[in-house]
Chains A and B, each alone.
Chain A
Amino acid sequence: NEVVVYSSEDKIFSEPVLKAFEKKTGIAVRAIYDTEEAKSTGLLHRLLAERENPQADVFWCGDPVRPALLETKGVTTSYYSPIAKEIPENYKDEGGHWTGFSARARVILYNTDLVSMDEKPLSIFDLVKPEWRNQVAIANPLFGTTALHMAALFIVSGDEEAKKFLNDLKRNGIKIVSSNGEVKRLVSRGEVKAGITDTDDANVAILDNYPVKIVFPDKDGIGTLIMPNTVCLIKNGPNQENGKKLIDYLLSREVEKKLAWDMCAQMPLRYDVETPAHVFSINAITGMNVDYHNVAKKMEEINGFLKQWAGF
């Protein structure tokens, strides 16, 4: 009586949730977590390689795009969780292959020792300005959430715009680092003034009480990218039923709340889950208006460009 879950959400956030599920249902959860070093793609490879003879039942993914990939490779199967009705439509796959829940967003993290309140960037487009020369860090746009962010950006502001923007950033000496964690590290240590990263990384930096603050960019412009966690059911997993149970649990209000109050400060997709002061709820910030399937497609298109942009 067990369920096997692969989680590419950071272990320290996801493990407590799964433990809670264990306690609640008495179903033993056997989890495998991913590592930052491998850009959280290790599990993806594992899922793909195990396709012939799946070992996992559930894949808890940190973003809504990789499930799309799995779907196309025929790793996942569709499951409409009853409880998912409470989740807004655009955070769900109409095919039922994945369902989103509490979300992260892309933010600008800046170091308050080096940047005063009124100099702080309000839009990612500010970062091409000369005063930010050599003072901005971003994770390698080929991987992880940054890749999503770029793809989304290309969609909302058109390829030409986006390409130009990126090239300007490059010209402005932006530092391309290995991961969002790195961005966080550099900003909080004051190696650079600001960087583009995820809410959870940013929040941890704050809790480690480094002199950093968050900006949700382009509030009154294109908005920033919101990335729900997603969960999907693996085709022919060993314990389908328990898998579904776990999915139902993960999508529950309870979990969204837990994740909101945890260090990762994930934003509930439900409007009526109460959150700590520093955690906005979705409606409080302007999200980019994109369809994640398109984002997935867009990534395919542009990562050639990004590859040479990032110098690989």
Chain B
Amino acid sequence: MAEYSAFQVFKNGLTGNTGWKQAWRKPEPKQQYDVVIIGGGGHGLATAYYLAVNHGITNVAICEKGWLGSGNIGRNTTIVRSNYLLNGNTPFYEHSMKLWENLSHELNYNVMFSQRGIINLCHTPAQLDDTARRGNSMRLMGVDARMLTPRDLARRVPGLDLSASARFPVLGGLVQPRAGTARHDAVAWGYARAADRRGVDILENCEVTGFLRDGDKVTGVATSRGEIRARKIAVCVAGSTSHMMKLAGIEKLPIESHVLQAFVSEALKPFLDTVVTFGGGHLYISQSDKGGLVFGGDIDGYNSYAQHGNLPVVEEVMSETVALFPAAAKVRLLRSWGGIMDMSMDGTPIITTGPLTGMYLNCGWCYGGFKATPASGWCFAHTIARDEPHELSAAFTLDRFHRGYVIDEKGQGATPWKH
């Protein structure tokens, strides 16, 4: 299939756009693969892609129960950053950032990664220190970060209420200039197309309904499109993790599923050129290329598998938005939706071999797994191909909870709804 390029767009444009082919094939499932990946979200797709590219494993299928990208990859607020605090996290997310920086070329698909920077606002002196601590931590691990004064902020974020009478007075902020946003769907489609071109079978409308076992070993999956055998089975189903693992007989995991809402306003001419997060509560806001302000806040805070949220969180997020941007009171909310988060007990992901033989698990991404997509795929592919953790994800083990090696960015303890 032709490479995507300006030339192709031009050529096809003149010929009625009839020359374009399917972005990925719609194959029938084979009976046997080397690796079956459950979950056609960002992580599953990236895993397939890196299995092929980094490890030469191409006899791979991805089983997706709905349409490709119907999970969280298709409903997140698209923020990509590596501004973490703790040692266990930063190198992993920074690796991801580096992959993002070349992703469009790598995939030959414009994922519209826009490095417009992310700014964390501070509203109290204590927060300034905390934030500086995070910035310093990043810098010491080779990640870009810089504290901003209110004057810097006035220049970068017009419309932000920097007055002393602001509802939440702003004392400063931390910027990670290389952070930004990417077009969420394009990431799924780009990985899908690139993986497909390397031979990966993407099986949509193929729900995994059970596992085939040989004693303790997992040997395949039962799906809505028939049984499929595989030497290795990788689970990447985000919010459905517990449910999926129950099918394998694992009743309990350090995971809870919670709903997170996101919002988009009506399209506006450029209003906000960076990503802003609020330090006094929980809010992050950016503007999509289409013009909508895209924003989100806290998870609703109770176990949920329903992809819809509640009203108090809507009100909370909107009130924080207008507190920061008083002009936005007249902007209008266009749409709200929800996605199911796989909240882990310490707010940090899990990438591991097992828990059964022949099985590999990738989960616990909470509300931050979009930015992790490339690195997650990279490290998970490594784990699957080599049967050992990648050094960047070595801390993301499943036994860290019991052993007490939790990586708790928020310091909340085993209350997933507070991470």
Do these two chains really belong together in a complex?
no
Interface residues of B, Cβ cutoff 8 Å to A: none
